[in-house]
Structure 1
Amino acid sequence: MVGVFAFPALLPAFVTEWGLSNTEAGWISGVLFAGYTLAVPVLTTLTDRMDAKRVYLCGALVAGISCLLYAVAAEGFWSALALRFLAGVGLAGTYMPGLKALVDRTRGPKQARWISFYTASFSLGTSGSFMIIGAVAELWGWKSAFALAGVAALAAFALVLAQLEKAEPIPPAQPVNPFDFGPVFRNRAAMGYVLGYAAHVWELFGARSWMVAFLAWVLASQPGAGGPSPTTAATIGALLAMASSVIGADLAIRFDRRRVCALAMVSSALLAAVIGFLGGLPYGIVVGLMLLYNVLIQIDSAALTTGAVMAAEPERRGATIAIHSLLGFGAGFVGPLAFGMVLDLAGGGNSSLAWGLAFASLAVVVGLGPLALRMK
């Protein structure tokens, strides 16, 4: 996952070097999730009929190649757009197929906790992406950063190939067509979590894609201000988000899962509604608020995915995860793009009002999540 958030981590530099508009930057940030969205229904659903390890290996290979090609061939909007789309296909072949590989290899009451730890590790990968890409780019430039991301994905390929034992899926009592998604959509309990997850991911990736740029704008407007760099703040935020996701998953096990998720969504929506208007506060305070926002966003992440997996019919678990990921990361594609469009329409990246309205747009979407969770 080192390369997943490589572009958002360096977004201000690419805007300057390539002369991108905020809308174009939003397209490049979001197109990874478009590639993910188109590929994930096929790749994850296949795990109902074959060992998910095989799908994962293909995805890791694509992810590695996409980053290596970006390092040597990206030179503007269109080339970056195409290669980040390919990176999204690689993510589609690893993230949810990796979850299915875990589900196929665990049993019993602790399975929900394993699922929660796996999905929480997404934040660890996110923090690593921001931290490693930012540090390497500062020392040796963005081409070296993307090259390292490609090598890291190929290392994941080698690790899983060497270490993960085989585990063929247990055949269902009644054979089913894995690409018949009708029963998945009719499963109201699972779809409540799926739609709630879509609202969550819209906010999550909208905020993650623009957090560094927002903090860079705040820092630039306050010469001499002290505090962590924007990429360091994003790294810390992602690490805190991982812990938050694990804690939220445990709360969902102890208490009513839907209520825990709904309260988390309402809390993050309230902060999103105001945080963009607070860029005039001292930089250190804004960083603190963004870290708190990262914590609130992520409380429900693992709990929502675990809820969808546990509510799925066993023989359609791969298909349910596919729809969960399709709608979720489809929202992840639109979220950064919509954020950039609001930013442009409201006055651009140097306007406090524009930043405020862009973050508030995230609040509107995630505020719909609790309504989806009422489906049972």
Structure 2
Amino acid sequence: MAVHEALRSAPARRRTGARHPANPGAVFPAMEGKIRSLSGRSLIAVMCIGQVGNLLPHVTLSANLAQHLMPAWGLSAAEGGLMASGYAFGYMLAVPVLTTLTDRIDARLVLLWGSIVSGLATAAFGMFAQGFWSGTAIWSLAGLGFAGAYMPGLKALTDRLPAGDTSRAVTLYTSSFSVGVGLSFLVAQLIADRWGWRTAFLVTGFGPVAMVGACLLIDPRRPVPKAGRLLNFAPVFANREALGYILGYGAHCFELYGIRTWLVGLWTFVVAHQGAPAWLSPVVLSFCFAVISMPASILGNEAALKFGRHRAITIVMIASACVALVIGLNATAPAWLLALLLLLYGLTVPADSGALTAGMSAAAASEHRGATLALHSTVGFGLSAVGAWGTGAALDLAGGPQSATGWLLAFIVLAAGIALGPLALLWARSGADGGRKRTIKRAGLERL
């Protein structure tokens, strides 16, 4: 028995051996003091800044799709949407492994390498992409890298926060997503218009360097060793409350990625057919649409804390579906009216994001948080891919990106997608209520 225990503990001793120092300060001695002092608000701030940098490549393709890539390569809207969805597809394939891996190794290491791959793949698109197939393949690799950056980054953050409610920290982290996307829209379009779309990909590929720096400034944490299969989602599927938030997040991502992929295309249509002031360009509109998402997500989470998550999220999702339908029905309205409607949509689309992720994180069992985050991201980005492609397919089906009926059908698709979110939450809540009733009944029988 003693020999068996010694053999079983040997790999653990090798993992903690001196050959692989757990503390980056051992490798970078001058940084050790900084690493040890980074906690609380400073930790949250550094991770949010790193997240913004990691997101600089995020919509570089979407920002240049309608104006540059589709004309240059002769792509249909469905092909353009499918190429854009390659990012989400690559993310979806990698995130189950990379995020559940954070239950076994320091999430910081996954975050570091994911950020590096994301940046290099984005730069590679600018250098080597020549058409639909090569573009889709390289952009999928960029999404694969981001799979090691987004949710592992959230895990790296929450692992280093004190026990208790991390709702606001999670919301700040997820809301900084919007700032990063806004900068991605802005930088990608400005550089592409001035120096070409290839240069835009090369420049935005440097954004993840910010998160690489953040990884070197946070202290190492080794998760408690655990046995069992790496991809064990059975406990997550058994957690109906967490699963409801995950499915709701999928509906949110379907809508969000659909509008982000085609926002510039929509406004290009508006400018061509209705006209718009010179200052209200696709660059300005897409940047404002993305940036207002951050306060919307924060306020949405605050409303969820005050009025209840399920109620607040349901109201936001229904409102967002209604706004989408109004935009689709008014695709030929004056530019100023459409701009106001799109900015309103920019508030409703992300307002449920922070509350959904915070709800999932709170409902997740601590020993299965990595697996829960993995499924959360897999469902979210899987439906993101469907949203980008489905919206493009709807455009083609109803006349193309230069047709008002095409945009009507596209926004009907977006509205239908987000309308499924409240149904997922209702399903989860009914299951949770039934479980509580069964528990109370069993407790009463035991007392008898």
Shift of 1:136: 1.3
Is this contact kept in 2: 1:274–1:356, CA < 8 A?
A: no
Is this contact kept in 1: 2:274–2:333, CA < 8 A?
A: no
Pick aligned residue for 1:309 from 350, 361, 368: 361
Count residues with an aligned counterpart: 373
Shift of 1:187: 0.5
Q: Deviations over 1:70-128 (max 9, x none)?
A: 11111111111111100110110100000000110112444111011111111111111
1:289 aligns with 2:341: yes
Is this contact kept in 2: 1:184–1:316, CA < 8 A?
A: yes
1:85-234 to structure 2, matched below 5 A, reads 85-157=140-212, 159-170=213-224, 175-223=227-275, 225-234=277-286
Worse-superposed segment, 216-225 or 366-375: 216-225
1: CA distance between counterparts of 2:189 and 2:340? 20
Is this contact kept in 2: 1:26–1:338, CA < 8 A?
A: yes
Q: Deviations over 1:264-283 (max 9, x none)?
A: 00000011122123121111
1:365 aligns with 2:420: no
AA of the residue aligned to 1:243: P
For residue 266 of structure 1, what is the aligned residue in structure 2?
Answer: 318
Normalising by structure 1, report the TM-score.
0.96
The DSSP-based 3-state class of the residue aligned with 2:93 is helix
AA of the residue aligned to 1:27: L
CA RMSD, Structure 1 to Structure 2 (Å): 1.3
For residue 253 of structure 1, what is the aligned residue in structure 2?
Answer: 305
AA of the residue aligned to 2:254: W
1: CA distance between counterparts of 2:155 and 2:354? 14
AA of the residue aligned to 1:319: A
Worse-superposed segment, 101-110 or 67-76: 101-110
The DSSP-based 3-state class of the residue aligned with 1:163 is coil
For residue 330 of structure 1, what is the aligned residue in structure 2?
Answer: 382
Shift of 1:144: 1.2
Is this contact kept in 2: 1:226–1:283, CA < 8 A?
A: no
2: CA distance between counterparts of 1:225 and 1:149? 28
Shift of 1:317: 0.2
1:17 aligns with 2:69: no
2: CA distance between counterparts of 1:276 and 1:98? 36
Normalising by structure 2, report the TM-score.
0.81
Q: 1:176 to 1:307 in 2, by over 3 A?
A: farther
Shift of 1:178: 4.0
**Percent of pairs with identical residues:** 42
For residue 435 of structure 2, what is the aligned residue in structure 1?
Answer: none
AA of the residue aligned to 1:167: R
* Structure 1 stretches lacking a partner, 5+ long: none
AA of the residue aligned to 2:402: N
2: CA distance between counterparts of 1:92 and 1:220? 37
Is this contact kept in 2: 1:227–1:284, CA < 8 A?
A: no
AA of the residue aligned to 2:257: F
AA of the residue aligned to 1:149: T
Is this contact kept in 2: 1:30–1:334, CA < 8 A?
A: yes
2: CA distance between counterparts of 1:160 and 1:284? 41
* Structure 2 stretches lacking a partner, 5+ long: 1-54, 433-448
Is this contact kept in 1: 2:276–2:336, CA < 8 A?
A: no
Q: Deviations over 1:221-254 (max 9, x none)?
A: 1346444211221111111011100111111112
1: CA distance between counterparts of 2:410 and 2:216? 45
AA of the residue aligned to 1:232: V
2: CA distance between counterparts of 1:3 and 1:246? 23
Q: Which structure would you say has the larger RCO, counting Cα contacts within 8 Å and 6 or more residues apart?
A: 1
Shift of 1:170: 4.2
2: CA distance between counterparts of 1:150 and 1:257? 36
1:69 aligns with 2:69: no
1: CA distance between counterparts of 2:215 and 2:157? 15
Shift of 1:161: 3.5
